[in-house]
Structure 1
Amino acid sequence: MAEVTDVRTYQLGVSRPPLAVTDLPEPEEVFGVRRLGPRELIKYAIGPSLIALGISIGSGEWLLGPQAVGQYGFVGVGWVILVSALLQTFYNVESSRYVVATGEVPVVGWGRVPPGWFLWVPISVAVVIFAFIAGGWAASAGQGVYALVHGEVAPSGAEEPRIWAIALLVLVFLITASARRISRALELANWVMVVSILTGLLLIDLFVVPWELWWDGISGFLTPAAPPEGITATQLGALAGFTALASGLNWYVMGHYRDKGYGMGYRTGFLSGLRGGGSKLEPVGMTFPDDEANTARWKRWYKLLLTDMWGVFFVGAMLGMLLPTILMAHAVETSGERPTTANVPTFVASALDSEYGSTLFYIALILGVLILFSTQLGIFEAMVRVTTDAAHATSPTLRRLIEGDPRRFYYPFMFLLMVVIAVILHLALPVNLVQWSANMSNLGALIFPFMLMYLNSKLPRPARPRPYHYVILGLNVLFFGFFFINFIADFVGDPLITF
């Protein structure tokens, strides 16, 4: 176990400088309130889970889940969704535990795992970029905007949807550039989008979906059954990987707890937008002494973290999967057709148009665009954020060049990434790109839970996980790792298991 070697420092892991030791702040100090009651909790403390939820209610919930249910039904698919959501929410909490206890985001923390940052930080950035740069989330949003503008589904191979996808990337750039604090801008955008999405889907489902389909969807989550015959390893692995968030790569979003000011994140700074006056983002984290006062503060922060993740993210992710999938099942029933890889982004809207008229067609398209844009906003920004955090923390030369202002790296890199994604968008169908990304996310489940076990076991004693937490992290490895290995086997030849 890591020990305090000096009254002012705490050496955690290897290859990175020791953490400074100082007191945890009280939540009231961070959020600027006299008392943190229910109203203040919603207004000030809830937030990082909404950014994660905005990404979550996207590629998995609007594309992969409905496609799987539309083709194969609920039984044998629903339990995969539930298990994935449970495991991922727990994994999110464990990733965020490190952030709250040290003020370091996970990509920086990985540099403390043997043999050191020179291996794990570049690998971690590369895995995130490789998983998400395919841009299926952006291409699908572009298809939705095309249908919204023209009142019809885009013809196969049309260029205009890709132009719309690129325009939405530019919109992400503008949202971050106009912010004072980037995380806060993402929170506010997701408050609007997530509430609109869930409310809109709930009203449509109540209006058009028969109660027996509601029951089929809910019971499908709870019914253990073999995967349906004909579903491929890639489809099932993608569904598992992108249910809730991104399985083993979920850590790439948890750094927002630092910027929100949770725990020691309040001491280490945040990424500001161009309208912000700039903030001093510390390249090395801090932690707290093992004493009675700080233990009490830690328990308060950990309770807030659990509330944010289980009360908002998990509940929202399950609703975000249930509501679109029962709507898809109803669309399949009424249309007599099944969604394909090419038409799944607009399949529900087209079915509603035929059965109920153009009003629901346009409402469904608007919801679809919001769903996919919230994903686009979170993923695109997160790729830039992870790379910026990694470069800023590990390169003293870069910090000198940018004069300690991470924005001087953040925005040029965002522009470069936007150009690269704009090129890749032309290479494959959106859902194929999303399936690739989701299965690459499962690769992370073979790596990062073990690294998280190492880091969290070396936190100050009050912040360390209980023994059963390590067991559940191991279940993440087994569940998502199986799907990744099966995906690779299927990709290069024959899957290990067929359904």
Structure 2
Amino acid sequence: MTHPLGVSRPDLVVTDLPTPEEVFKISRIGPRELVKYVVGPSLIALGISIGSGEWLLGPLSVGQYGFVGVGWVILISALLQTFYNVECARYVVATGEVPVVGWGRVPPGWRLWVPLSVLVVIFAFIAGGWAASAGQGVYALVHGTIAPAGAEEPRLWAIALLVVVFLITAGARRISRALELANWMLVGSILVTLLLLCVFVVPWSMWWEGLRGFVTPAAPPKGITATQLGGLAGFTALASGLNWYVMGHYRDKGYGMGYRAGFISGMRGERREILASGVTFPDDDLNRGLWRRWYRLLLTDMWGVFFVGAMLGMLLPTILMSQAVAMSGERPTRADVPTFIASVLGQEYGPALFYVALVLGVLILFSTQLGIFEAMVRVTTDAAHGTSPRLRALIEGDPRRFYYPFMIVLLVVISVVIHLSLPVALVEWSANMSNLGALLYPFLLIYLNSRLPRPARPRPWHYVILVLNFLFFGFFFVNFIADFLGDPLVTF
């Protein structure tokens, strides 16, 4: 049996969904098993999420303009992005096919959408602002002082961290699992340290100001540009319209039909093939029940872990930045925002908190670096493997033979690009380019998800929220282009 879906790609083979217990090799799923075995892709997304937006763009905007008029953009962005993530993951869980390959089923076909999607992801993140900012933090950690403008050493540290990412993936048996474990440690350490630091440093009135700012609809503050707000919206939570580039980890985790499709092994892992085309399930009582179970696990992973973590990841750094501004009487700039909080805490409380804040900043930015760098390689590997029979024959069905050489090429290219501009300027570019995805992919997703087996299809109101993603993030991208060419659409 096969299930036709879209154009220019083979029909989906139909077979039964696996049970969660079969996939995770356990007898039952309780709270302990949920944390130990089931949660995972959300942590990889959260490791990217608590990064450039949360440590750079959010604190920069709040530090310069305050919470009111900025905070609501953060909340709306996080809500829309989490919902969008669920819809992207819905397709993966129902078909075992990652989004970059699935887009090839949308008319006019893969020859347009697959190469275009790879180029959009690479173009959005190749600037490497996330890497350059991490390098600045490492420089300050090593030397005990902020790097001078234009210094070369921070860029060398950024390149060294890219090599660390390569070593983490190369030493893995299963790359997604290695990223999960790394992000358990990174995200856990980041959130606990941020929480303790905020409890120690930030008065409760500032906590309330931050929370109030999230839920208070207000006009943007005078002086802020829509381009700045667009960068903040784009990199709050994850990467707005391009979030799909991380959702392929649900396949490698084995969620739903992803268990039937395969995964990318590390160099230490067994040789593992990935199906060139997806699989799906029949519409019968058994599979309807199994689908509901998998969908509930997906919602738990995204809303219970990703959304909560993303909101904490934005609240804690922004109130810490706001307090740093209040203590110092100064405001952060694009050049010093990666180390601004550390400098102020060092002046007020001594070198211990200076180094704690620096380590925290490096961990936050490295978790982003880990996820983004690997995801660019993963998306390109999946796209090439899924659409090119000639490549599959050349690599003998082993995706690693493309994955690792391409990672080395990308490492060299990013090492050159990060010399071109200030780290925060590069991050703002990436964030606004992420909003470009919101003009395209919500509609591609509507096309695909509306053609899934009936139990997996979204409800009508889900499509309305996908259109809201298009309107919200798409506006910021159009404004970014207008600003780049001459005059922004709106000024405040």
Matched, 1:39 2:39: no
Task: Report matched runs for 1:224-239 at 5 Å.
Answer: 224-239=217-232
Matched, 1:419 2:412: yes
Matched, 1:215 2:208: yes
Matched, 1:294 2:287: yes
Map of 1:102 onto structure 2: 95
Map of 2:62 onto structure 1: 69
Map of 2:454 onto structure 1: 461
Matched, 1:190 2:172: no
- 1:216-255 CA-partner distances (Å, limit 9, x unpaired): 0000000000001100122110000000000000000000
Task: Report matched runs for 1:144-159 at 5 Å.
Answer: 144-159=137-152
Deviation at 1:154, TM superposition (A): 0.4
Task: Report matched runs for 1:3-402 at 5 Å.
Answer: 8-402=1-395
Deviation at 1:280, TM superposition (A): 1.6
Map of 1:5 onto structure 2: none
Q: Counterparts of 1:133 and 1:237 in 2: how far apart (Å)?
A: 19
Deviation at 1:98, TM superposition (A): 0.1
- Tell me, which stretches of 5 or more residues in structure 1 are unaligned? 1-7
- 1:206-225 CA-partner distances (Å, limit 9, x unpaired): 00101110000000000000
TM-score, length-scaled by structure 2: 1.00
Match of residue 429, structure 1, among 411, 422, 428: 422
Match of residue 410, structure 1, among 403, 425, 436: 403
Instruction: Give secondary structure in 2 for the equivalent of 1:156.
Output: coil
Structure 1 runs (4+) greater than 2 angstroms displaced: none
CA-atom RMSD in angstroms: 0.4
Q: Counterparts of 1:267 and 1:219 in 2: how far apart (Å)?
A: 46
Instruction: Give secondary structure in 2 for the equivalent of 1:445.
Output: helix
Q: Counterparts of 1:334 and 1:97 in 2: how far apart (Å)?
A: 46
Map of 1:474 onto structure 2: 467
Task: Report matched runs for 1:445-460 at 5 Å.
Answer: 445-460=438-453
Deviation at 1:278, TM superposition (A): 1.6
Instruction: Give secondary structure in 2 for the equivalent of 1:20.
Output: strand
Q: Which amino acid aligns with 2:355?
A: Y
Instruction: Give secondary structure in 1 for the equivalent of 2:97.
Output: coil
Deviation at 1:412, TM superposition (A): 0.3
Q: Counterparts of 2:444 and 2:120 in 1: how far apart (Å)?
A: 15
Q: Which amino acid aligns with 1:229?
A: K
Q: Counterparts of 2:276 and 2:171 in 1: how far apart (Å)?
A: 24
Of all paired residues, the percent bearing the same amino acid is: 80
Q: Counterparts of 1:170 and 1:15 in 2: how far apart (Å)?
A: 38
Instruction: Give secondary structure in 2 for the equivalent of 1:496.
Output: coil
Q: Which amino acid aligns with 1:467?
A: P
Q: Counterparts of 1:234 and 1:420 in 2: how far apart (Å)?
A: 27
Map of 1:3 onto structure 2: none
Instruction: Give secondary structure in 2 for the equivalent of 1:202.
Output: helix
TM-score, length-scaled by structure 1: 0.98
Q: Counterparts of 1:57 and 1:257 in 2: how far apart (Å)?
A: 20
